[in-house]
Amino acid sequence: MTGEIIIPENIAQAKKYLKQKFVPLAGGTTLLLNRSANQKLLDLSKLKLNYIKYQKKSINLGAMTTIGELLEEKKLENIFGGLIPKALLTIGSNLNRQMITVGGNIVGIHPWSVLPALFLLLNSRIKTIQKKIYPAEKFFATAPKSLLKNELVSEVEIPLAWAKSIGRWEKLSLTATDYPLISVGVLPVEESIRIVTVGLSLLPQLFIIARKNIDKEIENIGEKVKISQDIRASIEYKREILKNILTDILQ
CATH of the domain at 87: 3.30.465.10
DSSP characters over 58-109? EEEEETT-BHHHHHH-GGGGGSGGGHHHHHHTTSS-HHHHTT-BHHHHHHS-
Task: Answer with the one of 159, 191, 219 that is the final residue of a domain.
Answer: 159
Fill in the amino acid letter for 239: R
pLDDT surpassing 90 at residue 224: yes
Same domain, 102 and 76: yes
Same domain, 210 and 234: yes
Per the structure, the complete domain to which residue 84 belongs is given by 52-159
Same domain, 174 and 127: no
pLDDT at 26: 63
Same domain, 75 and 152: yes
How would residue 1 be classed by pLDDT, with cut points 50, 70 and 90?
very low
Angle at 109 between CA 141 and CA 24, to 5 degrees: 110
Q: What is the pLDDT of residues 180-223, one digit of tens each?
A: 999 999 999 989 999 999 999 999 999 999 999 999 999 999 99
pLDDT at 46: 83
How would residue 18 be classed by pLDDT, with cut points 50, 70 and 90?
confident
Q: What is the pLDDT of residues 90-132, one digit of tens each?
A: 998 889 899 999 999 999 888 999 999 999 999 999 999 899 9
pLDDT at 81: 98
pLDDT surpassing 70 at residue 30: no
Same domain, 191 and 131: no
Same domain, 82 and 60: yes
Same domain, 153 and 231: no
Give the lowest-confidence range in 34-43, 70-79, 155-164, 219-228. Answer: 34-43
Instruction: Give the separation between CA 103 and CA 177, rounded to whole angstroms.
Output: 21
pLDDT at 40: 79
CATH label of the domain that carries residue 204: 3.30.390.50
Same domain, 238 and 188: yes
Same domain, 151 and 197: no
pLDDT surpassing 90 at residue 228: yes
Same domain, 62 and 153: yes
Give the lowest-confidence range in 40-49, 89-98, 169-178. Answer: 40-49
How would residue 23 be classed by pLDDT, with cut points 50, 70 and 90?
confident
Same domain, 32 and 62: no
Query: 219: helix, coil or strand?
Result: helix
Structurally, the chain folds into a number of domains equal to 3
Same domain, 16 and 64: no
Helix axes 214-224, 235-250, angle to 10 degrees: 160
Mean pLDDT rounded to a whole number for the chain: 90
Buried b (16+ CB within 10 A) or exposed e, 150-182: ebbbbbbbbeeebbebebbbbbbbeeeeebbbb
pLDDT at 27: 52
CB atoms within 10 A of CB 215: 12
